[in-house]
Structure 1
Amino acid sequence: MFGTLVFWEGYVSDEMMGTFAPIVIYWFYSGIYQILPPLDRFRLHTRKEEEQKNLVAISTVIKGVLLQQLVQATVARILFLVTGSSSPTEKLIQPSVPVQVIQIFIAMIVMDTWQYFVHRYMHQNKFLYRHIHSQHHKLVVPYAIGALYNHPLEGLLLDTFGGAISFLISGMTAQTAVFFFCFAVMKTVDDHCGLWLPGNIFHIFFQNNTAYHDVHHQLQGAKYNYSQPFFSIWDRVMGTYMPYRLVNREEGGFEVRQLKS
């Protein structure tokens, strides 16, 4: 399955691709959302809400994301150098497709577990929330490019360490990691895109999706729906799941209506 998609073999090492491909995918995928027409009939918030509620300029958001990606790339290079070869010509034996699928699933569970408990603690600890995690919540109305807009320390603890731990525990190779991290990045961007588009495969296959995460970015839902980026398991197990439904907004688009007081 994955072997046939490895177009970079012989040109760039798997470790180099695992370091930089997720960054390229982030800007490409979020950029697509950014250049789309307004699509007001699919928005979870009006453009007026986005302008009034968000507390940070898009230029600042872009700088913050680039800083986090610089840290991620640095840690990734160190991790890959320690755990594997960085030679583009040295071919490692890849596990079978079923093994790679299992490794990716394990990595998804590990990443979800790490991010749930670290994310939740950043909300519960007043100091950490005020000085670190609140930076991400300056985007009350999320949009795609802001998916990784975090305080640098949060980016390191939540995303970078979460990815490294997922990689190590799952036992995946650098080649498998390219696909896993690119998929994780696309899922995270989609969760923050602010659009409920018909036929979106992330909405079809994952209950933890754009609307699910939008609940968490609102004042009434800030103590709920911590799970990210894949499943809603930990919210349901730990009692922090906020049910919701999508309703049509009179002026167009959708509203995520929370069903828990």
Structure 2
Amino acid sequence: MNCWGFHAGGCVLGLFRDVHGFWSCDNYRLHPKQEEVEKNLVSKKTVIKGVLLIQFLQVTAAILLYMVIGGSDAGASAGQPSSFVVIARQFIVAMVVLDTYQYFLHRYMHHNKFLYRHLHSRHHRLAVPYTFGAIYNHPFEAFIFDTLGGALAFVISGMSPRVSIFFFSFGTIKSVDDHCGILLPGNPFHIFFRNNTAFHDLHHQLYGGKYNFSQPFFVMWDRILGTYKPYSLEKREGGGFRLRPGKNC
């Protein structure tokens, strides 16, 4: 079975040979391909339309925010470019702020029945996540979750709009990778982050809805507050991996 796998770990088109001699990514999937149709509660056409709407709204919000901040050099001292150390510090601060904001809001959306039913359940219609469904959710949730969270990280970190372009591009690529459902070998996101494809896929399963709320970078709040669900991976007969949940941390 031929398969083009868009892999966000470097925006690479990955092609891999299966046991039948055809190019396939089936040997690296967390779910068999057919489960995208069998288990997901929304069509890919609807997902694409929803994602395009959210992208339009978020780009519009970002442009307005940059206009209010005041130009591409805002945040740089005396108009001079920031050093690598300053930019690295801004990235780390923004990552911690965004993780903290999204963990507690994400967890609350799962525990508040009204918010889950009317907002967050839309994202969980994808029990088998895939790449372009990474930011498929309710437009209002996208605003309070991603847009406001991103704006908070942007302001507190003190990064300039120019630097923020790289930060949010990095965050978006990682979010796509977290939802791709494919464990390609050598993926740097899986090497450097415990919050990765398998970690987030567990959250999308029925048994994982009360665990692994952290996103998009670290797992610190799950570990601190006891909502971290460890897991193991085993090879599935016929190709791919099977996720096995472990005991709660």
Q: Decide whether the 8 Å contact of 2:71 with 2:161 is kept in 1.
A: no
Whether 1:214 and 2:201 are equivalent positions in the alignment is yes
Distance 1:122 1:34, change over 3 A: farther
Instruction: Say which SS state the counterpart of residue 197 (structure 1) adopts.
Output: coil
Q: Decide whether the 8 Å contact of 1:80 with 1:174 is kept in 2.
A: yes
Q: Decide whether the 8 Å contact of 1:33 with 1:144 is kept in 2.
A: no
Q: Given the alignment, which residue of 185, 206, 215 partners 1:198?
A: 185
Q: Decide whether the 8 Å contact of 2:7 with 2:14 is kept in 1.
A: no
Distance 2:224 2:218 in 1: 12
Instruction: Say which SS state the counterpart of residue 256 (structure 1) adopts.
Output: strand
Q: Given the alignment, which residue of 107, 129, 132 partners 2:116?
A: 129
Gaps of 5+ in 2: 1-5, 16-22
Distance 1:43 1:188 in 2: 17
Taking structure 2 as the reference length, the TM-score comes to: 0.88
Aligned to 1:67: 53
Amino acid at match of 1:222: G
Q: Decide whether the 8 Å contact of 1:211 with 1:256 is kept in 2.
A: yes
Tell me the CA shift for residue 34 of structure 1: 8.0
Aligned to 2:19: none
Q: Decide whether the 8 Å contact of 1:33 with 1:193 is kept in 2.
A: no
Gaps of 5+ in 1: 1-26
Q: How does 1:82-231 map to 2 (within 5 A)?
A: 82-85=68-71, 92-231=79-218
Instruction: Say which SS state the counterpart of residue 79 (structure 1) adopts.
Output: helix
Taking structure 1 as the reference length, the TM-score comes to: 0.84
Tell me the CA shift for residue 86 of structure 1: 5.7
Q: Decide whether the 8 Å contact of 1:111 with 1:165 is kept in 2.
A: yes
Tell me the CA shift for residue 119 of structure 1: 0.6
Name the structure with the higher helix share. 1
State the percentage of identical aligned residues: 56
Q: Given the alignment, which residue of 221, 241, 245 partners 1:254?
A: 241
Distance 1:139 1:239 in 2: 25
Tell me the CA shift for residue 29 of structure 1: 4.7
- Deviation per CA, 1:12-50, whole angstroms, max 9, x where unpaired? xxxxxxxxxxxxxxx9959x6788564110000011222
